[in-house]
C-alpha cells in the first residue's frame, strides 16, 4: 500500500459531497445545531450497505443537511484534499452538485467560495491542485439546470467544466442537450455520468447528444463491441471507480469487474474513487484493490496513472510535470524503489 500511495495520481471522478465522512457529519451537525437520526458515526456508517444507486443517493442527500455555510464547505474540501494528498493525488478535478444545496436555501456563492477556500488552503499547505466541475442533477428539471448554469456564469464561478450525475436510469442524458450546448459555448469542458446502471445507449447519448470529452463510469460499454471499438479509436477517457461499482452492485465483486477487458481492448481507462466516504475506499485503495484482484504489474499501474493525466483538463506543462513524476515512480533514478 505504501508503494501505491507513493504513485503520483490525478483523480477525475470524485464527488466532494461523497467525501463527507460520518465523523465530519457529526461535527458539523453539533456546530450547526442539527439533530441527526443516528446515535453516532458508527451507527451512520453501518447504514452504508446499498442495494443500488438510488438507495445510496437517499442517504447521500440526507447527510447534506449539515452543510450550511461557507465554512462547512471549506472544511469538507480541505479534509478531502488532505486525505487525497496522502493517497498520492497531485491534482483532482472535483465534482460538486450546486442544486443539492441551492434547493436547501444555501447560496451558490457560499458553496463555491467555501470549496475554493478549502482547496486554496490545501494547495498552500500540500501543493495539491484542483479544478471544480459543476454537475447537474439528471433527476431534476432541465429548466433548473439551465437556471443553475446561468447563475454559475453570472457570478463568474471558478469552474472548469460541467457534468451530469445522480440517478441514471429513467433520466436520459439527451434531455440536457441545451444545457451542455450553452456550457460549451461558454468555454466550459463537458463530462457526464453514463454506463454505470444504464446500458450502452446511455453512453452513446452522452457522446452524441452532449458531446462529452470524458465518460464518467462507462463500464457498460463492454455490452456493445462496436461502442468499445469507437471508444478505443477516439481515445475517449472512462473515469472508472471500481470499489463504487462493487458497493452499488453494478458488479458482483472486484474479481467480476470488466476492467481487464476494457484495458485489453485499448480503452482509455482511469482509476478514481467516486464517493469514498460511502464506498470504503479513496483512490489509493481503489488502485490497491485492482492490483490485488488482477495481479497488475507496475507498468500497467503506471499506464493507468498516465491515462488520468492525459485525460485531465490540465495545461500541457503541468501534465508533463506529472508524467515525469510517474515515470520516476516506475523507474527511480537512484536510491532504489519505494518500499512496498
Q: According to the annotation, is 85 in a ligand binding site?
A: no
Tell me what pLDDT residue 1 has.
Answer: 59
- Enumerate the β-bridge partners of residue 96: 134
Tell me what pLDDT residue 26 has.
Answer: 95
| Residues 112 and 158 sit within 8 Å (Cβ to Cβ) | yes
Q: What percent of the chain has pLDDT over 70?
A: 98
Task: Determine whether 196 is an active site residue.
Answer: yes
Question: d(Cα 87, Cα 76) in Å, to the nearest integer?
Answer: 17
Identify the band that residue 334 occupies on the pLDDT scale cut at 50, 70 and 90.
Answer: low
Q: What percent of the chain has pLDDT over 90?
A: 89
Considering the chain, what is the average pLDDT of its residues? 95
Q: Read off the pLDDT of residues 136-191 as tens digits, 9 standing for 90 and up.
A: 999 999 999 999 999 999 999 999 999 999 989 899 999 999 999 999 999 999 99
Tell me what pLDDT residue 338 has.
Answer: 44
| pLDDT for residue 340 is more than 50 | no
Q: According to the annotation, is 193 in a ligand binding site?
A: yes
Here the cell at position 252 is 458482483
Which among 196, 234, 261, 328 is annotated as catalytic?
Answer: 196
For residue 35, what is the DSSP state? -
Here the cell at position 130 is 484542483
Taking each helix axis as running N to C, give the angle between helix 298-311 and helix 283-294, from 0 to 180 degrees, rounded to the nearest 10.
140
Could you state, in order of their start, the residue ranges of all structural domains in the chain? 2-330
Give the list of residues 6+ apart from residue 222 with CB closer than 8 angstroms, or none: 228, 258, 261, 262
At the top level of CATH, the class of 2-330 is: alpha beta
Q: According to the annotation, is 275 in a ligand binding site?
A: yes
Q: Read off the pLDDT of residues 242-275 as tens digits, 9 standing for 90 and up.
A: 999 999 999 999 999 999 999 999 999 999 999 9
The sheet carrying 237-240 orders its strands as 9-11, 89-96, 129-137, 159-165, 189-194, 214-217, 237-240, 268-271
Tell me what pLDDT residue 339 has.
Answer: 38
For residue 338, what is the DSSP state? P
Give the list of residues 6+ apart from residue 270 with CB closer than 8 angstroms, or none: 10, 12, 13, 237, 238, 239, 240, 304, 307, 308, 311
Q: Read off the pLDDT of residues 188-233 as tens digits, 9 standing for 90 and up.
A: 999 999 999 999 999 999 999 999 999 999 999 999 999 999 999 9
Amino acid at each position: 500500500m505504501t508503494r501505491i500511495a507513493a504513485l503520483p495520481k490525478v483523480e477525475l471522478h470524485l464527488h466532494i459531497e461523497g467525501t463527507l465522512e460520518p465523523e465530519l457529519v457529526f461535527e458539523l451537525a453539533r456546530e450547526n445545531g442539527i439533530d441527526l437520526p443516528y446515535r453516532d458515526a458508527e451507527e451512520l456508517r453501518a447504514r452504508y450497505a446499498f442495494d443500488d444507486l438510488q438507495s445510496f443517493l437517499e442517504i447521500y442527500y440526507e447527510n447534506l443537511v449539515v452543510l450550511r455555510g461557507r465554512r462547512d464547505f471549506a472544511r469538507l474540501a480541505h479534509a478531502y484534499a488532505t486525505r487525497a494528498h496522502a493517497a498520492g493525488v497531485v491534482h483532482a478535478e472535483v465534482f460538486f452538485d450546486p442544486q443539492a444545496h441551492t434547493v436547501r436555501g444555501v447560496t451558490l456563492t457560499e458553496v463555491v467560495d467555501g470549496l475554493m477556500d478549502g482547496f486554496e488552503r490545501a494547495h498552500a499547505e500540500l501543493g495539491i491542485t484542483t479544478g471544480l466541475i459543476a454537475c447537474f442533477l439528471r433527476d431534476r428539471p432541465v429548466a433548473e439546470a439551465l437556471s443553475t448554469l446561468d447563475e454559475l456564469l453570472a457570478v463568474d464561478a471558478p469552474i472548469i467544466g460541467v457534468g451530469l450525475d445522480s440517478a441514471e436510469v429513467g433520466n436520459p442524458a439527451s434531455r440536457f442537450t441545451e444545457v451542455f450546448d450553452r456550457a460549451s459555448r461558454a468555454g466550459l469542458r463537458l463530462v457526464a455520468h453514463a454506463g454505470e446502471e444504464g446500458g450502452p445507449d446511455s453512453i452513446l447519448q452522452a457522446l452524441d447528444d452532449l458531446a462529452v470529452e470524458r465518460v464518467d463510469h462507462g463500464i457498460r460499454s463492454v455490452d456493445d463491441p462496436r461502442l468499445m471499438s469507437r471508444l478505443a479509436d477516439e481515445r475517449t477517457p472512462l473515469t472508472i471507480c471500481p470499489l463504487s461499482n462493487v458497493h452499488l452492485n453494478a458488479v458482483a465483486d472486484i474479481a467480476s469487474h470488466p476492467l481487464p477487458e476494457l484495458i485489453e481492448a485499448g480503452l482509455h481507462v482511469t482509476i478514481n474513487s467516486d464517493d469514498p466516504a460511502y464506498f470504503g475506499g479513496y483512490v489509493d485503495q481503489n488502485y490497491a484493490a485492482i492490483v490485488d484482484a488482477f495481479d497488475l504489474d507496475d507498468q500497467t499501474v503506471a499506464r493507468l496513472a498516465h491515462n488520468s493525466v492525459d485525460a485531465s483538463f490540465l495545461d500541457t506543462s503541468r501534465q508533463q510535470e506529472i508524467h515525469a513524476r510517474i515515470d520516476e515512480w516506475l523507474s527511480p533514478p537512484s536510491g532504489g524503489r519505494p518500499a512496498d
